Structure 1
């Protein structure tokens, strides 16, 4: 059975890849011109779609897990095998619990809605997120550190306070918003707005807005072209996020049989990472735009075929577990749980009663909770629930407000420091901003790093002899600051950066890693 399943998926994989002589016709369903003002379905159909959305995330996350950030700046070759077999989902959920951050992050907010109500204030979500036991990275971790140090949303996700504000974080955890708001993209945006600003802003927030809108629209249309295009109407056309996805749609029209050509166009135009300290001047790219582009790549070239969608969104590379998770969830809503191909649900039922790590919820739990929340939101937004029938008041997508991060800031230099801060450190740079990556860590104990510690390093930061801050750097991995210090919007010209460690500790190390400098013009503009 295992070998047969693997061979089936491998064969389907080969069929999914490479150009075809004719593009497949769009999936049938709602016409491209739109959908009716109201859509009525049975509760059973609605539940099936909600199940498809949550199950699709698990399937995509599991499938793409082994390739996550192993193909950066390059697509995955056709001959590269990706494992899939009966029992693989259960095995992964038990042995690789951290892979499912897409899910247990989602469920943090679902749990708050369940316990505190649909109108729960953002502070409830922020506190639950910040104090949870799971490890976080990038915009999530900076947002968590900001919340734990008294900053509130939306300031915690603003790019001036969060160098990772354009990263993928809210995009991978915004699924809940669309699953709660069937056919109502604007309501999905409202449900996720304040939550998304805990950790993101600008393009990072737009990633979650867009994914949530596509989930909502997938309940009322079976046309992936419609869902992709209509969902984009929630994003302001002036934003770089909108421009990136509009390009993907355009290139799909130009090269309808060749997803790899569109991938190359995406790489050529949109591969630059501006904010993330790990992605600047590196092939690694966790920016929301390009990873959302890979979600759309899978949806448009998959055209409703689950295997093609999963293969393409994964083989595009970069965050290749999160991207097929979102694409698989959106398509899972469109198809419904029952119509997700059987080979993709191998062993799923055996995993549906397993609680996700750091939660008390399993897939079976969230299927029911998700249905409950969706019915509440439908009733509160012009819909009706009558007996076995559910009528949804479908919304026309409206653009959210314009937010654009790092305007006028261009990375110009990344220099390695790679020194321990034991007393003071001084360096100079020429630009309008900087990010200094670094952290505090407990020293090795019993042959391995301890992840938790009560020590918090305090580092005074001076720019041009003016005190910028006293940076607090917890040595605890779950409470760490992620980047040591940063500042934007400085006057153009030379600056001096000086650090002073106030409380050295023999059991911990403060490490200075890289200095990233920003100028007011791109590098090529200098020549």
Structure 2
């Protein structure tokens, strides 16, 4: 791809006014111009490219999602595509598009209540929607329905999945409504991203939103990736991983697999997610965002190559190419997405995504209308066919750190119903009890309590409904280091229900030190 600030194909429709801007050169020496003027046609084309790229990327990677955990997808593994692929997903597995219809929940609230809609409005729309959720999203939904509102609903003390990928995969809308204004995208993500995430989990969404935002005003992929990272505090794990990916790309410019391997060696550990520790699964925002960046950098502006590499990095391999293709789609615009990938969209663009009444065509228009409002609210102007954007130099958001001084040290298998668990004894500073309530009556809500060392820690509701379930039965962090005894009580038992414990993840204040001593002679 030609590395200039603005696509040559759009030159006739776009005028750049630059104040105090360094001349284009190496990516590290560039600065955004003070103002950029786009035609409405170009702005709409880029917004359409973002939504279309996200949908295509999600559809492309769909068959591989979490089938390759801790390993890349080798080149000989085919990833099939045809003109009916997207429609097939719509018809047979609409839940694939959770990252899209989650975005649309927030887009709809902005459309209904305006740009200053409060966090609680987004939280309630998300928590009461009909779709199924997982990980940080589901934990946040449960919290909200139990009266724990944002930002506490996403805080790691209330949400063991706070570092997971959830907001990262649904932050696209924030960048698409803030062209050239990454700090405004960050402010939106502050309000909405803390519904379900905190720390590195939140940074994933901040970073994705910033890359989308900057993709409106630069067609240099490396510049967008690097400049957007300035929205993330440098002391964070998230920043350090992305900075490493950028460094390794320079060191191994023709070998994405080497950069992938370096990421696995240094950054593949998962600390928080109870489903991801001690197993190959990694739904943490840090490593999955690294896969987005690997796809963007090594894709070199080629739509297929970008998607393919992000997918072949593995783990959440539908959401990662969705973000990468959405960012690139915003950069090049809808009309420059190759027809081979785009033409399948025509079969679904007027079809509403599941759980919404919003189609792609409607989403294009809603984001366009919101972008015009954001431009004007932030010092820009709309006059006739011209949209003048006051560009923002990225600034870091505040520093947050989840699961600080917590390290997973062991996992205890339980596999017993609550009335057979008895006492669970562990040594450490924190514990998460995984499990579920089972009852044919979806309206039943179990009530149970946990005591640690004889003290009541929490009494909780356990809905039988999968949609409103509590993701993990109980957890407690920040315990004094030492041996602890845990007991449970079921306060409203019934014969057709059971509360089943599967395992306990144990944490301490330092990592395991594994030493094997030879037997004494």
Normalising TM by the smaller chain, what interval? Answer: over 0.9
What's the CA shift string for 1:437-488, capped at 9, x where partnerless? Answer: 1111225xxxxxxxx7011111110000000011211110000010000000
Find 2:396's aligned residue among 384, 395, 399.
399
The equivalences for 1:223-262 within 5 A come to: 223-262=220-259
1:446 paired residue number: none
Is 1:456 matched with 2:432? no
* CA distance, structure 1, for counterparts of residue 98 and residue 511 of structure 2: 35
* CA distance, structure 2, for counterparts of residue 201 and residue 493 of structure 1: 27
Is 1:500 matched with 2:468? no
Deviation at residue 323 of structure 1 after TM alignment: 0.2
Is 1:344 matched with 2:349? no
1:373 paired residue number: 370
Is 1:120 matched with 2:109? no
1:385 paired residue number: 382
* CA distance, structure 2, for counterparts of residue 111 and residue 440 of structure 1: 33
Find 1:277's aligned residue among 240, 249, 274.
274
SS of 2:250's partner is helix
What's the CA shift string for 1:74-120, capped at 9, x where partnerless? Answer: 00010111110012111211211100001110000000000011100
* CA distance, structure 1, for counterparts of residue 161 and residue 75 of structure 2: 32
SS of 1:177's partner is helix
Find 2:144's aligned residue among 143, 147, 168.
147
Would the aligned equivalents of 2:180 and 2:214 in 1 still touch at CA under 8 Å?
yes
What's the CA shift string for 1:218-246, capped at 9, x where partnerless? Answer: 00000000100000000000000000101
Deviation at residue 353 of structure 1 after TM alignment: 0.5
SS of 2:54's partner is helix
2:188 paired residue number: 191
* CA distance, structure 2, for counterparts of residue 219 and residue 26 of structure 1: 15
Find 1:475's aligned residue among 450, 464, 468.
464
* CA distance, structure 1, for counterparts of residue 471 and residue 363 of structure 2: 31
SS of 2:68's partner is coil
1:178 paired residue number: 175
SS of 2:398's partner is coil
Name the TM-score, length of structure 1 as normaliser.
0.92
Larger mean Cα displacement after TM superposition, 340-349 or 66-75: 340-349
* CA distance, structure 1, for counterparts of residue 2 and residue 411 of structure 2: 45
1:92 paired residue number: 89
Would the aligned equivalents of 1:170 and 1:200 in 2 still touch at CA under 8 Å?
yes
Would the aligned equivalents of 1:27 and 1:304 in 2 still touch at CA under 8 Å?
no
Is 1:161 matched with 2:158? yes
1:13 paired residue number: none
What's the CA shift string for 1:282-328, capped at 9, x where partnerless? Answer: 10000000000000000000111111100000000000000000001
Name the TM-score, length of structure 2 as normaliser.
0.93
2:12 paired residue number: none
* CA distance, structure 1, for counterparts of residue 364 and residue 192 of structure 2: 21
Would the aligned equivalents of 2:381 and 2:389 in 1 still touch at CA under 8 Å?
yes
1:447 paired residue number: none
Aligned residues: 495
1:449 paired residue number: none
What's the CA shift string for 1:177-196, capped at 9, x where partnerless? Answer: 00000000000011121111
Unaligned runs of 5+ in 1: 1-24, 444-451
Deviation at residue 424 of structure 1 after TM alignment: 5.7
What's the CA shift string for 1:45-96, capped at 9, x where partnerless? Answer: 0000000000111001100111000000000010111110012111211211
* CA distance, structure 1, for counterparts of residue 333 and residue 316 of structure 2: 25
* CA distance, structure 2, for counterparts of residue 463 and residue 410 of structure 1: 20
Would the aligned equivalents of 1:26 and 1:303 in 2 still touch at CA under 8 Å?
no
SS of 1:413's partner is strand
Would the aligned equivalents of 1:52 and 1:337 in 2 still touch at CA under 8 Å?
yes
SS of 1:156's partner is coil
* CA distance, structure 1, for counterparts of residue 368 and residue 383 of structure 2: 15
* CA distance, structure 1, for counterparts of residue 373 and residue 515 of structure 2: 56
Find 2:5's aligned residue among 1, 8, 29.
29
SS of 2:388's partner is strand
2:13 paired residue number: none
